[in-house]
Amino acid sequence: VQLQAFGGGFVQPGGSLRLSCAPSGNIDSINVMGWYYQSPGKERELVAYIRSDGRITYGDSVKGRFTISRDNSKNMVYLQMNNLQPEDTAVYYCTADLKEVGGSAWRRHWGQGTQVTVSS
């Protein structure tokens, strides 16, 4: 199973970006999908996650500015980021808690990360 994230880049303060992520491989079921970010020299932190039933949890630093969503028919998770600020500069990682075909255990898979840089 691999997770591929798209949509990172460079944006000025106040701008917007939309990240996308799709797991691929022999996937049986996906439960929670989410996003984390890691700034240089800091620990990885939660942005948001969304369960298969649509319930959402946001990290405190992004409430009201970022919106997570998913398309279960495509196994996609999205992160709409508005009013981006320099402190949002980080590598953003997508995650998926999933079960592989023929497997019995749920396991969290991580994407490779996509860089978001906010600067004037």
54 Cβ neighbours under 8 A, 6+ residues apart: none
| Strand 56-58 relative to strand 45-50, pairing | antiparallel
Q: Residues 6 or more apart from 55 whose CB is under 8 A from it? A: none
Q: 63: pLDDT confidence band, cut at 50, 70 and 90?
A: confident
Encode pLDDT of 68-118 as tens digits: 999 999 999 999 999 999 999 999 999 999 999 988 899 999 999 999 999
For the stretch 31-53, pLDDT in tens is 999 999 999 899 999 999 999 99
What is the distance between the alpha carbons of residues 92 and 115, in angstroms, rounded to a whole number? 6
Residue type at 77 in one-letter notation: V
Q: Report the distance separating Cα 92 and Cα 19, nearest Å.
A: 9
